[in-house]
Structure 1
Amino acid sequence: MDDAVRQALARWPDVPDCFGWLHLSRRGEWQLPEGPIRHAGLTAFIGRNYEADADGRWYFQNGPQRVFVSLAYTPVVLRLASPEELQTHTGSPVESLSEAWLDEEGSLLLGSEHGIGLLDDRDLAAMAAHLAGELEQPDGPVELRWNGLHLPVARIARADVPGRFGFISQPA
């Protein structure tokens, strides 16, 4: 969290929370009701001050105010930074993968030190080259082969993702 944010919290501890204003898209874009945020400095500031509370609600600490984020899918979106490197939508490198999941829509979810993350659909074709097994069979075995890892890919219903991974998509 930025130092200026910590100072604002100390100065104004009782600012009410904000809900329904900030959204995270499936592609890791911050969005307001008017549309996506395109200012690089603002997106970086939001990313540096983005975290979860004890209840699994993700928020952006905007000075003294918590701005809770409505999630289009997961609280983290992953992207290929290079053919062999992943990063989060906030720009943090992914050092290790711990699990992999496919939902009924063909979306790939990956567990890392940053929690569960949805792979940006624009990188799905490139990542598919690292999947081996029976992708066409609903219960067929699939494995993710990534940087020397061989992770089994489990199946999951999209509706089960928030409960399984302990986050709230639409905080209120």
Structure 2
Amino acid sequence: MDDIVKAALKKWPNVPDCYDWLALDARGDWYMRDDRIQAAGPFPQVKGSRITHDKLKEFIHRNYEHDADGAWFFQNGPQRVYVTLEAAPWVLGVQRVEDGRFVVTAHTGAEVGAVQAVLTDEHGHLYLATDLGLGIVRSPDMGVAADALEAGRWPEVEEVRFEALPARYGYRLHPQATTRVS
């Protein structure tokens, strides 16, 4: 977490939390969802405005965390902005490097560590359980992920229902105001 954010938390400790205004899709894109967009429908059916400003995305990435209930949020100064997730808390990119290894990184740029499990849901989405946590593999990286599986670099694929993933891996797709445990 940024030092400026820590200082803001100390200065204004009682700022109300924010819900439904920020979302993360399965490609790793962030979306702002104002009142008008929220009224138009739920995420991801109605996404909102994609955040394209690089410095803002970097700020969100540095201050992206979860609470004890598995609700993910962006600490925006003194305000905790809870994130609606389309699929998982992490969106993963997979790349093959020159020495034949496969490198997995999160949408935030964080290294994920070891791949502990590989899962696929009824929609054909691929998930990796890593040292960092559970993430969905970005669709453009599915070919490289398939190569890693065929090369035996990761565990065998396990089939799982999408609805079972949040409870199994301890996260919430759509945090609500009753979620926060201080």
From the superposition, tell whether residues 81 and 63 of structure 1 become closer, same or farther in structure 2 (CA, over 3 Å). farther
Q: State TM-score, norm by structure 1.
A: 0.87
Please tell me the residue identity of whatever aligns with 1:168.
R
1:45-124 residue pairs with structure 2 within 5 A?
Answer: 45-83=59-97, 84-124=102-142
Separation in 2, partners of 1:36, 1:81: 25
Residue 29 of structure 1 corresponds to which residue in structure 2? 29
- 1:152 and 2:156 matched: yes
Please tell me the residue identity of whatever aligns with 1:151.
P
Higher deviation after alignment, 86-95 or 14-23? 86-95
Tell me how far 1:130 sits from its aligned partner: 2.5
Find the residue that maps to 1:70 and give its secondary structure: strand
The alignment covers a number of residue pairs equal to 158
Separation in 2, partners of 1:67, 1:4: 16
Separation in 1, partners of 2:52, 2:91: 17
Q: State TM-score, norm by structure 2.
A: 0.83
Find the residue that maps to 1:131 and give its secondary structure: helix
Residue 40 of structure 2 corresponds to which residue in structure 1? none
Please tell me the residue identity of whatever aligns with 1:171.
P
Residue 43 of structure 1 corresponds to which residue in structure 2? 57
Please tell me the residue identity of whatever aligns with 1:40.
D
Q: Which structure shows the bigger proportion of residues in helix conformation?
A: 2
Tell me if structure 1 keeps the 8 A contact 2:71–2:82. Answer: yes
Separation in 1, partners of 2:164, 2:152: 25
Q: Percent identity?
A: 41
In the TM superposition, what whole-angstrom CA distance separates every residue of 1:38-94 from its partner, at most 9, and x where no partner exists?
A: 011110100000010001100000000000000001011101254421100000122
Please tell me the residue identity of whatever aligns with 1:9.
L
**Structure 1 unmatched ranges of 5 or more:** 133-143
From the superposition, tell whether residues 11 and 26 of structure 1 become closer, same or farther in structure 2 (CA, over 3 Å). same
Separation in 2, partners of 1:88, 1:16: 29
Tell me how far 1:152 sits from its aligned partner: 2.1
Separation in 2, partners of 1:81, 1:10: 40
Please tell me the residue identity of whatever aligns with 1:99.
A
Separation in 2, partners of 1:81, 1:127: 8
Tell me how far 1:15 sits from its aligned partner: 0.1
Separation in 2, partners of 1:122, 1:62: 30
From the superposition, tell whether residues 122 and 89 of structure 1 become closer, same or farther in structure 2 (CA, over 3 Å). same
Find the residue that maps to 2:152 and give its secondary structure: strand
Q: Which structure shows the bigger proportion of residues in strand conformation?
A: 1
